Amino acid sequence: MRSHGAPGWPDPNQGQFFKTRAHSGNFSAPASAYTACVHLLPDHGQITAAVQHQVTLLALKFAECMRSHGIPNFPDPTGTSGFEFDPPAGYNPQSAQVRAAQHACRKYSSAAGNLLPPG
């Protein structure tokens, strides 16, 4: 990744890449770097059915958490790719209420992010 345009790409920790808020910027890379290196990832960067199931469960918990923290119409995830949501009418991601709910529920999105390959 570093030799393909992502000079800050971190080393793996025990064979995995862990994203944290403090170093999430290190995971920025041009698509060409990911394309050039994806063959080096386990399963060529494809998500296994077991991991996808875990991500889906975390996405459902995230949606439930958002609803319990003052966003009553927050939907369950769409599709099977994990954290994709169709925002409800009037949803403002910049509002204090939404930001507070996202902060309260970040443990679910962070846990899912740790399961997914970087890129």
Task: Return the percentage of the chain with pLDDT > 90, whole number.
Answer: 31
Residue 36 and residue 61 share a domain: no
Residue 10 and residue 39 share a domain: yes
Mean pLDDT of 66-83: 85
Give the pLDDT confidence of 16-38 residue by residue, as tens digits.
Answer: 665 555 566 666 778 888 788 87
Residue 107 and residue 73 share a domain: yes
Stated length of the chain: 119
Residue 36 and residue 70 share a domain: no
User: 89 phi and psi, to 5 degrees?
Assistant: -55, 135
Mean pLDDT of 69-74: 94
Count the Cβ atoms, other than its own, within 10 Å of residue 80: 12
In the chain, the number of structural domains is: 2
pTM for this prediction: 0.64
* pLDDT over threshold 70, residue 60: yes
* pLDDT over threshold 90, residue 61: yes
Residue 57 and residue 111 share a domain: yes
Q: Which residues have a Cβ under 8 Å from the Cβ of 97 and sit 6 or more positions away?
A: 70, 71
Contact by Cβ (8 Å): 64, 70: no
Residue 13 and residue 69 share a domain: no
Give the pLDDT confidence of 83-105 residue by residue, as tens digits.
Answer: 788 888 888 989 999 999 999 99
Model confidence at 70, pLDDT cuts 50, 70, 90, reads: very high
65: domain range? 49-115
